Amino acid sequence: MRDIFPALSGWYAAGAPFGLATVVAVSRSAPRDPGAAMAVGPDDEVVGSVSGGCVEGAVFELAREVVASGRACLETFGYDEKDAFAVGLTCGGELTVLLRPVSPVLDPAFGAVAESVAAGRPVTVATVTGGPAPLGAVLAVWPDRALGTLGTPGLDVAVTADARGGLALGATGVRHYGPHGERREDAVRVFLHSFAPPPRMLVFGAIDYAAAVARIGDFLGYRVTVCDARPVFTTAKRFPAGVEVVVDWPHRYLRGTDTDERTVVCVLTHDPKFDVPLLQEALRRPAAYIGAMGSRRTHDERMRRLAEAGLGPPQLARLRSPVGLDLGARTPEEVAVSVAAEIVAVRWGGSGAPLTQTRGAVHPRTAR
């Protein structure tokens, strides 16, 4: 959804209605996560995708219909073994798509939402997907305000509270309420789509490996900062465009930087005078992942120094060292893939094992 906002903003500013399709629920091996979106605009222009190609043709037609009718609809796509030519997912999964018409008249909050997403300001879009409330009704929620309504004041109040709580973690998913926001009922389904600022990746150590890790971090959607105390190595031209480059002592920079439960910290200095003070700071603060580069011998010596500095077993257990998965990597780019693979595995609870050696769904819905 974030990727197609520029196109949608242009249509919206021109006052041209468009059909917006959003994945609001999935099961089994569905190819896209909730929040994936596709839109059909003026002259049948299409942006985005909801399934990677399996059901886009059917969604295209439905999007045109909701624009013509001015009414939202909900459609579920799965795999029909009895009819191999039916529209569905060949992977055997199932996804539910909400389609709704969008225009300045139908959705007055959309422009403000698009501006917030473009500026990196957090916002959650709550949309009714079922039950005794207007299908497709939208409530946009910011930390300090809300626009729109889901049909009743009580429902708006309950959803606003949940939306603001979810913004802290960028949580996206379906919540259930009573018609007036009752917490113990599940008559009304509301899809909360959070647009939190991109998570941060902090890379310490301006070496060749750092450039490769920064590049793959940017590719994964992180806001990347590279920090090193040595100005001769810490120059913008050595790193991808868009990566922030900071000359400072790593532990001092981290001490003055906010981190949260989504932040990734990669320590690539493998020099005790840099990485021990830095890891003392990192292991005492919120972070999704803290990894440090070095040999087994370097790791053992580092752990000894950290323990002497007062870090206990729970804090030391958070450290991923040596950093990365065992891929047999050699080049900086291969090592970056190894590090990225471990970050993704930690984020989603993956085992890191080859899929040929695992059982069950390829894309389990167990986000951490």
DSSP letters along 18-76, please?
A: EEEEEEEEEESS-SS-TT-EEEE-GGG-EEE-SSSSSSHHHHHHHHHHHHHH---EEEE
Using CA atoms, how far apart are residues 309 and 251, in angstroms rounded to an integer?
Answer: 14
Q: Look at residues 252, 250, 254 and name the one whose alpha carbon lies nearest to residue 269.
A: 250
Using H for helix, E for strand and C for coil, what is the string for 94-163? EEEEEEEEECCCCCCCHHHHHHHHHHCCCEEEEEEEECCCCCCCEEEECCCCEEECCCCHHHHHHHHHHH
pLDDT on residue 120? 82
Task: Give the long-range contacts of residues 307-315, CB within 8 A, separation 24 or more.
Answer: 309/276, 309/280, 310/280, 311/280, 311/283, 311/284, 315/283, 315/284
Using CA atoms, how far apart are residues 7 and 26, in angstroms rounded to an integer?
Answer: 26
pLDDT on residue 86? 44
Check if the beta carbon of residue 278 is closer than 8 Å to that of residue 204.
yes
Using alpha carbons, list the distances in angstroms from residue 127 to 29, 105, 150, 233, 343.
24, 17, 7, 49, 31
* The amino acid at 326: D
Using CA atoms, how far apart are residues 28 and 363, in angstroms rounded to an integer?
Answer: 7
pLDDT on residue 80? 53
Using CA atoms, how far apart are residues 194 and 142, in angstroms rounded to an integer?
Answer: 10
pLDDT on residue 1? 80
pLDDT on residue 366? 44
> Which phi-psi region, left, alpha or beta, contains residue 151 (left: φ > 0; alpha: ψ -120 to 50)?
left
Classify strands 244-247 and 188-195 as parallel, antiparallel or unpaired: unpaired
pLDDT on residue 198? 80
Using CA atoms, how far apart are residues 120 and 167, in angstroms rounded to an integer?
Answer: 12
For 197-217, give the DSSP string: PPPEEEEES-SHHHHHHHHHH
Binned average pLDDT, 10 residues per bin, the chain of 368 residues? 90 95 82 87 93 84 96 84 45 83 95 92 94 96 95 96 80 91 92 89 94 94 94 91 94 95 92 93 96 94 95 97 94 96 91 87 53
- Tokens 């209605």 belong to 17
pTM beyond 0.75, yes or no:
no
3-state secondary structure of 356: helix
